[in-house]
Amino acid sequence: MVHCGCVLFRKYGNFIDNLRLFTRGGSGGMGYPRLGGEGGKGGDVWVVAHKKMTLKQLKDKYPQKRFVAGEGANSRVSALKGSKGKDCEIPAPVGISVTDENGKIIGELNKEQDRILVAEGGLGGKFLTNFLPLKGQRRIIHLDLKLIADVGLVGFPNAGKSSLLSKISHAKPAVADYAFTTLQPELGKIMYKDFKQILVADLPGLIEGAHVNKGMGHKFLKHVERTKQLLFVVDVSGFQLSSRTPYRTAFETVLLLTKELELYDEEVRAKPALLAVNKMDLPDAQNKFHELMNQLQNPKDFLHLFQSKMIPERTMEFEHIIPISAITGEGIDELKNCIRKSLDEHADRENDAYHKKQLLNLQISNTVSHSEPLSRNAVTSSRMDTI
């Protein structure tokens, strides 16, 4: 009998990126002392990847229940060896990381039908256990989405990320002229004429000090980890969170965003990145954009003007820098083309690297298999020499 449940989750509107589940393997069956019969082993609990499943669907299908596998059958005269209990399978999306309550990774689901054992069934009663069965393993597990989108929009509050997302995709995020419009990830799809789709996530606005969990802190940076590449969005006129915080130019904004990512995780900072310079419809935007381009192309000429704590170890190298206006639509088509080009190029490189690795492994295995008989012959001949 399978029960499914005790589900806690982190939720952003209709978006769920983490589920906490209770799992328990089935208890073993009773042994048969008089005839030495063994009880059946309890069923196991598995997490299994399914392409069309989402964490929201999983939560909706099994609200407030537990995942418990079936009990092993008792030993009896007609069947001294009890049958195994029924396994319980938890359907989960591809791209999931499974961890225990302490954050230790149990495994990952990277392709359809990948399986991870999360709770083992108890042994059936036998001579060593005085014919008494053992209980199944109890475990609380977390299912975490490793990748939520192809592209993550990174920027300080009010950089125009929400407006940009609505312009390049079919998403309808809240848009307003104040900081922190986005308090939860908004997902949108860029649709191309050849039916290619690219998923874009507008992530909650980053602020200075996020790496030490200021503002939405680690929650934001955790989402950044789950995107293939980053799209920095900065206001060409600069940024000021409030009247009590310092004004930052567009160049300072880029430095600070890079620094926050770097302090959180060097691997996040090393992701492929593009830069969209927004609000080009504002007065004097062209002059400010040229100034920013000069600073980005020659960063070392300007870094001495800033506090050392603002300066990242390595400045961000953008694959494309595109001036845009999310209001008028200026540069939007070019931005969409650059996003696709960048993703395609990196996918090609990853495929090439994968094939090269497979070829190398094949060559190594062939070399080993050809050399093994030779080494045996060498041993034989050396023995013959000593005889």
**Residues comprising the chain, all counted:** 387
92 and 182 fall within a common domain: no
- Tell me what pLDDT residue 257 has: 87
- Tell me what pLDDT residue 300 has: 86
- Asked if 134 and 128 touch (Cβ cutoff 8 Å), the reply is no
283 and 312 fall within a common domain: yes
- Tell me what pLDDT residue 14 has: 53
Is 232 domain-assigned? yes
Is 384 domain-assigned? no
Is 289 domain-assigned? yes
167 and 305 fall within a common domain: yes
102 and 216 fall within a common domain: no
Is 247 domain-assigned? yes
174 and 261 fall within a common domain: yes
137 and 216 fall within a common domain: no
Residues of the domain holding 66:
18-145
Under DSSP, the state recorded for 279 is: -
- Tell me what pLDDT residue 176 has: 35
Give the residue ranges of the chain where pLDDT is below 50: 1-13, 174-183, 208-217, 374-387
77 and 167 fall within a common domain: no
Under DSSP, the state recorded for 38 is: B
- Tell me what pLDDT residue 172 has: 56
Is 194 domain-assigned? yes
Is 28 domain-assigned? yes
248 and 153 fall within a common domain: yes
Give me the CATH number covering residue 59.
Answer: 2.70.210.12
- Asked if 343 and 198 touch (Cβ cutoff 8 Å), the reply is yes
- Tell me what pLDDT residue 74 has: 97
Distance CA 145, CA 155 (A): 22
116 and 168 fall within a common domain: no
Q: Which residue, of 118, 145, 172, is where some domain finishes? A: 145
137 and 37 fall within a common domain: yes
- Tell me what pLDDT residue 374 has: 45
Is 377 domain-assigned? no
Concatenate the DSSP letters of all residues of 331-387 into one string.
THHHHHHHHHHHHHHHHHHHHHHHHHHHHHHHHHHHHHHHHHHHHHHHHHHHHHHH-
Q: Residue 276 is encoded by which pair of tokens?
A: 């969209």
Distance CA 175, CA 178 (A): 9
127 and 24 fall within a common domain: yes
Give me the CATH number covering residue 296.
Answer: 3.40.50.300
Distance CA 120, CA 68 (A): 10
340 and 191 fall within a common domain: yes
- Tell me what pLDDT residue 125 has: 97
Is 379 domain-assigned? no
The dihedrals phi and psi of 245, each to the nearest 5 degrees, come to: -110, 155
Q: Which residue, of 109, 129, 145, is where some domain finishes? A: 145
Number of domains observed in the structure of the chain: 2
Q: Is the whole model's pTM more than 0.85, yes or no?
A: no
